[in-house]
A and B are shown apart, each in its own frame.
Chain A
Amino acid sequence: MTADRPILLRTGAAFAALVLLVAALGMGAAVGETAIPLDVVAKTVANRLWQAGHAIEPIDEGIIWNYRLSRAMVAACCGSALALCGVILQSLLRNALADPYILGISAGASTGAVAVAILGIGAGILTLPIGAFLGALVAFGLVSALAVRAGRGTGAIILAGVAGSQLFNALTSFIVTKAANAEQARGIMFWLLGNLSGVRWPDVWLALPVALLGLVVCLWHARALDAFTFGTESAASLGIPVRRVYVVLIAVSALMTAVMVSIVGSIGFVGLVIPHAARMVVGVRHGLLLPASALIGAVFMIAADVLSRVIIPGQVLPIGVITALFGAPAFALILSQRRSAL
């Protein structure tokens, strides 16, 4: 970290990041079963945002605005939020394999959402995202309690996470099988694998503020996350209020996971793999690692969504299938390289 020089560099990098993100969103809107030229995408956005009055096909405009763009926006939010969760959990738990999916937080969120949607728990007061948030918190609480009981080793939390996800996935299946009708069950099973098909603008207005809030809170704690490099005692001796940082950051990652799961289902490996990819590019410092992970996560998720729509003509693949197809081998790679981390 050197002083002064970065001002120009940083503005440049931030600008490049923005360009990349906009380009990805544009591609997300342009590519699909019917390819729509990028200039039509640009005109649609201009029409909708500034009443530019470009003459374009109403069908194209409808597809872009009502389906693809909202979808790409949610994919971007979801990708960055999950990547940020991965960075936070890997830093706080000092474990290269931590992410919301592996620790069972996503599974807990799914159970919470399903409990609200099918069992009607909360009598209409609890919405799907709140149910998911509570489920995520319960799952994390359970998994950490189990990990503490199992011993202090950094591997314990991963094993506890495995147990936790199995439990919550079983609970979800139980609830679905017991209480849902056939159509609900089919819909939920599809949603569980990660699905952006039903996403519309109202989902964006939920996902975007949460992702932005998450990014701001994370960046605010960037130095604190750095201070965890040598463990919690070392962080405390560097002046970090360890417990408060834990509570705030775990709550934020549970919130981000829950909101994203309630919109698109539980999507694996993004939170695990993206932070490692970002570390290879920008290093381990959280001031850079957090925004880089958020950006890479967003672009990756948009690309995965596009791929899920075009890879089998006429069919939409659950996006979780795509992320797992990329993520599982990457997971194996991390596992073999960082044996000491477990």
Chain B
Amino acid sequence: MTLSAKGLSWSAGGTTILSDVSLDVRPGEFLGIIGPNGSGKTSLMALMAGIRRPQAGVVTLDGRPLSAHGRQAIARRIAFVEQQAETTERITARQAVELGRTPHLGALTPWSRTDDAIVDRALEEVDMARFSGRLWHTLSGGERQRLHIARALAQQAPILLLDEPTNHLDIGHQISLLQLVREQDLTVVAALHDLNHAAMFCDRIAVMQGGRIVALGTPAKVLEPQRLADVFGVTVDVERDSTGGCFIRYRRPEPRPAKLKLVAEA
């Protein structure tokens, strides 16, 4: 079960968003994708999930292009959690998670006890079982996000693609959610914002900048002060521990000389 991208390009409205991106996802790994806003993380996720078709290049699943797999067959293998999918329907928390069973049900397949059990477990795993009867619009952003994750878990696909899954979550839920995903026997690709989370949970990290992957490797290799300065424009110290883990400390930027000069002139 492998997912890989070769030479992907994507542009919208005359702006190039991805150019020539190649990425092999290893079975069972937790691959993090980091990069500043607009670096192409979301577009890459959408192309890898097969939601959009690349304008150039190809995404393959088990060696065959995604376009050669049926839509339903893809959904049984790849679950995708987008950023901020919303609804105005009066749907309950549980019903939102039940949607995850869609790829496993034909038009005439009845809903079964197994489906119920899978949905129950998914709700428990994201700590939302007690909210199952609540209506969607009464839930907070974080609760909704956890339900989206539960829906993806209920999909029981071996590959999980998450686009900034920890948005809207408090720090406790951010870490427990990444831990939960990490503990699953799944291949995970997640676009992440928090570099320390990426360092803590990822087996490998891909760094994106301007629509390209500029670095790919273990957190300890990829998260270097110079690279983070180049890509994110931040000054950091990276502390490494004996087990190969690393922590990032951000330094407060020096006051900008240009601004000082302006003030002085005034």
A residues sitting closer than 8 Å to B (CB atoms) are 1-4, 94, 96, 219-224, 226-227, 229-231, 233-234, 236-242, 279, 283-285, 338, 340-341
Contacts and interface: CB of A to CB of B under 8 A. Distances in A.
24 contacts: A1-B98, A3-B110, A3-B116, A96-B88, A226-B99, A226-B102, A227-B99, A229-B87, A229-B89, A230-B85, A231-B86, A234-B82, A234-B85, A236-B50, A237-B51, A237-B75, A237-B80, A238-B75, A239-B73, A239-B76, A239-B102, A284-B91, A284-B95, A340-B88
Given A223-B102, A230-B85, A4 B107 contact: no
Given A3-B112, A227-B99, A229-B96, A239 B85 contact: no
B211 interface: no
A223 B104 CA distance: 11
A338 B137 CA distance: 12
A239 B103 contact: yes
B88 A239 contact: no
Contacts of A2: 111, 116
Contacts of A242: 71
B113 interface: yes
Given A240-B71, A285-B95, A221 B85 contact: no
B115 A3 contact: yes
Contact of B88 (A1, A224, A285, A338): A338
Interface of B: 46, 49-51, 70-76, 78-80, 82, 85-91, 95-96, 98-100, 102-103, 105, 107, 110-113, 115-116, 155
Contacts of A341: 88
Nearest to A154: B88
Contacts, number: 88
A285 B99 CA distance: 10
Nearest to A219: B107
Given A3-B115, A237-B79, A238-B155, A284 B90 contact: yes
A3 B111 CA distance: 6
Contact of B99 (A3, A94, A219, A238): A238
Contacts of B115: 3
A94, A96, A220, A234 pick with most chain B CB within 10 angstroms: A234
B135 to A, nearest CB: 10
A2 B116 CA distance: 7
Contacts of A94: 87-88
Given A1-B98, A96-B88, A229-B99, A241 B71 contact: yes
Contacts of B50: 236
A230 B99 CA distance: 10
A227 to B, nearest CB: 5
Contacts of B89: 229, 284
Contacts of A285: 95
Contacts of B46: 233
A279 B102 contact: no
Given A221-B107, A237-B75, 9 more contacts: A1-B95, A227-B99, A230-B96, A233-B85, A234-B82, A234-B85, A236-B51, A239-B73, A242-B71
Q: Which 10 residue pairs of A and B lie closest in terms of their CB atoms, listed nearest first?
A: A239-B75, A239-B103, A239-B72, A230-B85, A237-B80, A238-B102, A241-B71, A3-B113, A341-B88, A220-B107
A283 B87 CA distance: 15
